[in-house]
Structure 1
């Protein structure tokens, strides 16, 4: 019996799950949010749900608080109980095609790749260093969002730039949300053993779609960075690249301001002028806000376009999966998407869709349509056991 921690570090948050492996039993899970604030929130589930507000200076203080709480509540006897820690890392570049044990060189690579994933890699690294300082005995493993998509063939991952940029800088499509796409595609196979041509839609504040053939990713909507593809909470998704130098010249912006515009000010937030949260925009649309309605339509239309494109890449479609916050909980979004896919044989049962059922296709649908809650953490825990040989 081995205890493994799965960690997802955000800029001001730390999400965690503690597993008993290989049974994959979750002992406790929770999050520390608003790190760096006097009103940080620490919540976890263990014999009920506990939540408390307090000052938490930084991620290292958050890690100490988490482990001390686990000890005080007798969830673990001591820090030594935790044999491995798996860290979700956004970008592995060309360096990593699989999870890996973390050493100084791995940390350097993660830091270097922060230029490609500026919202995630830097804070992922903070999480690694915080846990290494407190749990020096534990095996630390990096699990990259990009790894699952390393099976994407050349014709789908290459950009039509001069080839030297691929050779010199590794500019290609990498894809992200790998643990999520992997998990839900594996679960889809359990539900529908005939599943071979699968499209998985991870739709949340960040979003991506993957085309999966016989369990392997062959294409995905995010690209060289997590900015490409779908309309997201604050990210543009795909756009004509000539727009960027045009805005830069017209507005007198520098390169960092352009990056912030694309990553932090666009998407649902930019389109609606209301919020980056789908629920807020949906509420405004229901109240008659036309700009919010437009934002939701654009959001759904991009998903529809990618599903159609990936059905072509797969030469068919037998299983469509929705997951992540919006995908799992918005029947409106799922209906908007599926109602435009009838040409592929997709047909949903609206009563099932309204209750977020596991399987929402109609009896006469030619495509299985599933709503599967994602579990990226269990993929992380499995990789810790495999890579660290625990």
Structure 2
């Protein structure tokens, strides 16, 4: 592994998250967020000003700027140094991620102006999933239509899934090439991935991050005919988009999107909250079983991200009832939030269950430094 110091940027449409990572240290040198962004150039300047005043950061020591980019399509299979051609392709792929890629690209261009002497590297959420075989990424629609409009499963959260699947291999003391792992990235956005031998072979998110597991405000899997039905009742495309991406999932079923609020309501006997969590766990169990079948076995299950790391009740419900598959959770080990990697299965469970905190910024830093070397 090549050590170095990287500035990691995650530029959204209205915010810029940043972190300065020294890969020789576990903790970041600095981190923060600029919110209510109207102009990405001004936002990056604000980041620079903040870092210049931070005694823990030497701007001259930063060797690379790593940029999170959501959609790399089937073009970008690894972290890539940003050139004009790469920028053009990120722009073209904006049709597949209209809420993300345009903002990611604005951030890249603003950062290149602010840090003209540094290498800039794009790290794509989709890159880890480009190893999926055709049966996993192909939708059963007219093949010419799919090819023309680039309709296929791309996945997301790839940086997190890659980081966590590698980390759990080190924890169990086996080469990642030998392991069959299901990674459950459970946050406001949620996805499951089957990782066989260190490679993604299937994932729950699809053409967009809408498909798959139920999420904070997204529906996850739904019969497409439901949308046709609503369209025939007069619903517009914008209304359907708003329904599925912003008014569904936990907020659609309970009026709440924060899992902490839902757990409080669940414990108080709120029927909507109880149903919502049962739906959530039911879907997660389904993907665990599916991916065990896809890989022909299973060695480890890993919970990560905000809910995965902090909600022991969700973890317990997701794993209970799977004992027949060799998945046996230990309620005592599982209890509480997990700030460090923790084994939560029983000693005699054939499948080990872990909670592993994700660190996407560190993963982006490591990939960016390697790509720029």
How would you bin the TM-score normalised by the shorter chain? Answer: over 0.9
1:1-390 matches, cutoff 5 A? 2-21=4-23, 23-24=24-25, 26-36=27-37, 58-78=39-59, 80-194=60-174, 196-250=179-233, 252-272=234-254, 274-356=255-337, 358-389=342-373
| RMSD, matched Cα | 1.8
Q: Return the alpha-carbon distance in structure 1 between the equivalents of residues 58 and 187 of structure 2.
A: 36
Q: Return the offset for 1:249.
A: 2.0
Q: Deviations along 1:184-219, whole A, 9 cap, x unmatched?
A: 100110111346111000000001101111111111
CA distance in 2, matches of 1:27, 1:234: 30
TM-score by length of 1: 0.89
> Structure 1 318/135 Cα, relative in aligned 2: closer, same or farther at 3 Å?
same
Closer, same or farther: CA 187–260 of 1 in aligned 2, 3 Å: same
Between 1:189-198 and 1:235-244, the stretch displaced more is 189-198
| Residues in 2 aligned to 1:88 and 1:349: alpha-carbon distance in whole angstroms | 36
Q: Is the 8 A contact 1:13 1:31 kept in 2?
A: no
- Does structure 2 retain, via aligned residues, the 8 Å contact 1:352–1:359? yes
Structure 2: 5+ residue runs without aligned partners? none
TM-score (norm 2): 0.93
CA contact (8 A) 1:18 1:26 kept: no
Distance 1:266 1:29 in 2: 35
Which structure has the higher relative contact order (CA within 8 Å, separation 6+)? 2
Give yes or no for contact 1:248–1:254 (8 Å, CA) kept in 2: yes
State the shift of 1:116 in Å: 1.8
Shift, 1:270, TM fit:
0.8
1:345 to partner: Cα distance: 1.1
Asked if the contact 2:184/2:193 (under 8 Å) is kept, the reply is: yes
Q: Secondary structure at the match of 1:363?
A: coil
Aligned partner of residue 242 in structure 1, secondary structure: helix
Per the TM alignment, residue 332 of structure 1 is displaced from its structure 2 partner at its CA by 0.6
Contact 2:311/2:336, CA 8 A, preserved across alignment: no
Does the residue aligned with 1:171 lie in a helix, a strand or coil?
coil
Aligned residues: 365
Aligned counterparts of 2:99 and 2:246: Cα–Cα separation in 1: 9
Give the unaligned 5+ runs of structure 1.
37-56
Instruction: For 1:309 and 1:16, locate their aligned partners in 2 and report how far apart those are by CA, in whole Å.
Output: 36
